[in-house]
Amino acid sequence: MIKEKGFVRTILVENPSLSDNTADAQRLEQALKKDLDADHVRIPLKILKSLPSKLRSWNFKAKAVLFKDLSSWILVDLLEPVIKKAVLGTAIDIGTTRIVIALVDLETGKDIGETGFDNPQAAIGPDVLARIHYSNRENGVFELNRLVIDAVNLNLSVLCEKHGCKKEDIYLVTCAGNTAMTHLFLGIESFWIIKEPYIPCVNIPDTQPAGNLNLRINENGVVFLFPNIGSYFGGDLIAGILFSALDEKHEPCLMVDVGTNAEIVVGNNDFLIACAGAAGPALEGGMSKMGMTAKPGVIDKVWIDPDTGDLKSHTIDGKKPVGICGSGMIDLAASLFLSGRIDIRGKLSSHACGKALFKKDGIMYFVLVDKAGSDTGESICLSQADLDSLTSSKAAMYTILEVIVKNTAGLEFEDLEKFYVAGTFGSFINPVSAISIGMLPDIPVNTFEVLGNSSLGGAKELLKNPDAFERIMNIRQSITYIELNVNQEFMNMFSGAKFYPHTDRARFPSLDNKI
């Protein structure tokens, strides 16, 4: 919902008189400045052209669509005071893998609908590195930019049509993405992001007319891109902090966004400390590559049958199983560990697993679903290699959390009032399972809260609340970004975390009555 006053406001302009011959534009500006408590409001030439006759035909009352840039408020458009059409905004999460678009009613703050689609730049390269290398070719930036902009325009058309909306009624667009995706969305040089000393072209892109970016919305519409802190700390994470409201909390909270990388922020209204997991090579790609993408038939939950001790599983849409996704893998590892099927080193135990184990090419496999129960014609298994990879990932996650919360912020995990889990992958993790394997710290389960797509959430928040603009700039300004220093101390901590749940068993008291 719109908090207090949003970006669409009904404005009363003082009537002109012989005793006050101030021009129409300046009287409009005065009314806007008063309403916004602002120093400057820019009125574009396009609006000036017909301002006098419009104001007179509307009896000096109008609906103003407003937005901000770094130096000023902007009058985006001026509409008749009572309009029947909607005034819309669009929030975009520009993910490296997937792009999500949401439509919002700017007057009511209500969500209208959203749609997601694969980032078409994947055709050029699956990851940031490949795309940025490509961007350095002649016309590379242009091609990459064209791909994403065309896809957004197309999907926005489809989304509008689905909800009976018009693209011309979209006035504001807010976009959050990592630094590379944001650069390519703007069509600006991105090459230096990946070259030492890793300098982005821009940290704080200014609000742009939609036409500058070839976004087909209202011709007066404007586009805001969340600022970044550096090449490895993007606007998506700033949007996430905004969405989680970490910057407004009294008690320290933590947010972890597990997307293509794992990014972690801890703090409150007093301090914000962040680190991005890409810097920790142990974690790189690890979390998100675990398991397959969620789709019908994928096992997303695994548990131990309390009566038989057998492993049970649930698939998306209840279809016959075709594979395991990340959250299913964590559940499975937790179940294997709690039932003694893997040891504290994360190794499959032939004794405990019995017939569920087989060996192929020297690698052990645990059969979760046999050939007959599977939809693929093959049994659905977890290999020791998969498990080792999961062990590495969970240990890296725990170590990074430990580094940032304990070593950097000087807190204990128990001090965290909230532990927000953002990102697609994070949305489905069962915290109890993640604690059981020592991936997440052993704090009360109700401390954990799933945020979903926090990048999109932050972009939507800005559409609904003008105050968010200042918060975004303050978050960017006040955050301390920690380069993860993978030194001997880190490696020692990492080694301890590779055990189940940890070499220091006392850290996980909630497991006491489970094992």
Q: Which residues of 423-432 are buried (b: 16+ CB within 10 A; e: fewer)?
A: bbbbbbbbbb
State the Cα–Cα distance between residues 94 and 83, nearest whole angstrom.
Answer: 32
Q: Is 98 in the site for a copy of itself (CB under 8 A)?
A: no
Q: Is 71 in the site for a copy of itself (CB under 8 A)?
A: yes
Question: To the nearest whole angstrom, how small is the minimum distance from the Cβ of residue 256 to a copy of itself?
Answer: 23
Do the bridges between strand 448-452 and strand 419-422 make them parallel or antiparallel, or are there none, so unpaired? Answer: parallel
**Closer residue to a copy of itself, CB minimum distance, 18 or 372:** 18
Question: To the nearest whole angstrom, how small is the minimum distance from the Cβ of residue 46 to a copy of itself?
Answer: 8
Q: Which residues of 186-215 are buried (b: 16+ CB within 10 A; e: fewer)?
A: bbebbebbbeeeeebeeeebebbbbeebeb
Helix (H) or strand (E) holding 353: helix 350-353
Question: To the nearest whole angstrom, how small is the minimum distance from the Cβ of residue 398 to a copy of itself?
Answer: 28
Residues 61 and 46: beta-carbon distance below 8 Å: no
The torsion defined by the Cα of 455, 178, 428 and 495, in degrees rounded to 10, comes to -140
How distant, in Å, are the alpha carbons of 39, 69, 359, 462 from that of 189? 33, 22, 51, 27
Q: Is 198 in the site for a copy of itself (CB under 8 A)?
A: yes
Cis, bond preceding 501 (omega within 30 deg of 0)? yes
State the Cα–Cα distance between residues 55 and 79, nearest whole angstrom.
Answer: 10
Question: To the nearest whole angstrom, how small is the minimum distance from the Cβ of residue 126 to a copy of itself?
Answer: 24
Residue showing tokens 């006392």: 506
Residues 225 and 70: beta-carbon distance below 8 Å: no
Structure tokens at 204: 């704080």
**String of contacts with a copy of itself for each residue 223-242, x by CB under 8 A:** -----x-xx-----------
Q: Is 201 in the site for a copy of itself (CB under 8 A)?
A: yes
Question: To the nearest whole angstrom, how small is the minimum distance from the Cβ of residue 437 to a copy of itself?
Answer: 35
Q: Is 143 in the site for a copy of itself (CB under 8 A)?
A: no
**Closer residue to a copy of itself, CB minimum distance, 58 or 117:** 58
Phi, psi of 170 (to 5 degrees): -90, 120
State the Cα–Cα distance between residues 324 and 294, nearest whole angstrom.
Answer: 8
State the Cα–Cα distance between residues 225 and 243, nearest whole angstrom.
Answer: 15
Total residues at interface with a copy of itself (CB under 8 A): 49
Q: Is 344 in the site for a copy of itself (CB under 8 A)?
A: no
**Closer residue to a copy of itself, CB minimum distance, 69 or 168:** 69
Strand, coil or helix: 302: strand
Residues 96 and 77: beta-carbon distance below 8 Å: no
**Closer residue to a copy of itself, CB minimum distance, 3 or 40:** 40
Site residues for a copy of itself, 14-43, by CB under 8 A, read 16-18, 21-26, 39-40, 42-43
Structure tokens at 270: 């007093």
Question: To the nearest whole angstrom, how small is the minimum distance from the Cβ of residue 78 to a copy of itself?
Answer: 13
State the Cα–Cα distance between residues 433 and 424, nearest whole angstrom.
Answer: 17
Question: To the nearest whole angstrom, how small is the minimum distance from the Cβ of residue 251 to a copy of itself?
Answer: 31
Q: Is 70 in the site for a copy of itself (CB under 8 A)?
A: yes
Site residues for a copy of itself, 38-57, by CB under 8 A, read 39-40, 42-43, 45, 48-53, 56
Question: To the nearest whole angstrom, how small is the minimum distance from the Cβ of residue 477 to a copy of itself?
Answer: 12
Q: Is 72 in the site for a copy of itself (CB under 8 A)?
A: yes
**Closer residue to a copy of itself, CB minimum distance, 207 or 335:** 207
**Closer residue to a copy of itself, CB minimum distance, 21 or 446:** 21
**Closer residue to a copy of itself, CB minimum distance, 187 or 277:** 187
Q: Is 200 in the site for a copy of itself (CB under 8 A)?
A: yes
Q: Is 261 in the site for a copy of itself (CB under 8 A)?
A: no
| CA-closest candidate to residue 213, choices 184, 237, 190, 192 | 184
Pick one of 36, 76, 92, 186: the residue that binds a copy of itself (CB under 8 A).
Answer: 186
Question: To the nearest whole angstrom, how small is the minimum distance from the Cβ of residue 73 to a copy of itself?
Answer: 9
Question: To the nearest whole angstrom, how small is the minimum distance from the Cβ of residue 20 to a copy of itself?
Answer: 8
Question: To the nearest whole angstrom, how small is the minimum distance from the Cβ of residue 24 to a copy of itself?
Answer: 5
CB neighbour list of residue 387: distance below 8 Å, 6 or more residues apart:
333, 342, 346, 347, 348
Q: Is 221 in the site for a copy of itself (CB under 8 A)?
A: no
- Binding residues for a copy of itself, rule: CB under 8 A, are 16-18, 21-26, 39-40, 42-43, 45, 48-53, 56, 69-72, 141, 186-189, 191-192, 196-206, 208, 212-213, 228, 230-231
